[in-house]
Amino acid sequence: MKTSRWAIASRALAAVLGGYALAAGVNVALALALKNSGPREDVILLATMPAFLVWAGAVVWVFAARTAWRAWAGVAIPSAVIAAAVWFLKSGGAAS
């Protein structure tokens, strides 16, 4: 059951950096989406607390995925979707 060092390094990168990027994206998207739903401090807390759960979930996904390809895709695709949502909220959605 030896896994090559490169494979482990690649997944660790996906888990640590990719997972963090995804969590940060969710953090920003939630903050923008909930901007008008309450006091600012409350919104920040509401947007930040789940981010760590997203990160932990991403780490589990990355190391559970069958192939390195799927591991990366599982982080990259949601990150892209979130980035698009952030862009939309910042430009169109921010007019509210």
Partner 1 sequence: MKNTFRLSMTWLHTWTGLLLGWVLFAIFVTGTATYFKAEITQWMQPELRRGDSPVDAAAVAWKSLEERAPESTRWFVGLPDDRATATTAFWQPGTGGKRSGSATFDPVTGEVVTARESRGAEFFYRFHFQLQLPHPWGRYLAGVAAMFMFVALISGVITHRQFFKEFFTFRPGRTSLRSFLDFHNVTAVLALPFYFMISYSALVIFMAMYMPWGREVLTDAQARAAGAVRERGGQSGAEKKAGGVEKKPWVSPAPVGPMLEEVARRWGREHPTVKRMDVTERGTEKMVVTFTRAEAGSVSITQREQLRFNGATGELLPEEKKMGGVATEVHGTLYGLHMARFAGPAMRWTFFLMGLFGSALVATGLVMWTIKRRAKYAKAGRFSFGHGLVERLNIAGIAGLFVAMGAIFWANRLLPVGMDARGDWEVKAFLYTWAAMLAHAVVRPVLAAWREQLWAGAVLFTALPVVDAVTGPFLARAWADGNAAYLGFHVTVLATGAMLAVVAWKVSRIGAGRGRDGERKADAARERKSRPAEEAV
Instruction: Note the residues at the interface with partner 1 (CB under 8 A).
Output: 1, 3, 11, 23-24, 27-28, 30-32, 35, 38-49, 51-52, 55-56, 59-60, 63-65, 71, 90, 94
Q: What φ, ψ does residue 32 adopt, rounded to 5°?
A: -70, -40
Minimum distance between the CB of residue 85 and partner 1, rounded to whole angstroms? 12
> What does the alpha-carbon distance between residue 24 and residue 26 come to, in Å, rounded to a whole number?
5
Minimum distance between the CB of residue 44 and partner 1, rounded to whole angstroms? 5
CA 25 to chain centre: 5
Minimum distance between the CB of residue 16 and partner 1, rounded to whole angstroms? 9
Q: Take residue 43 and report the two structure tokens written for it.
A: 């919104």
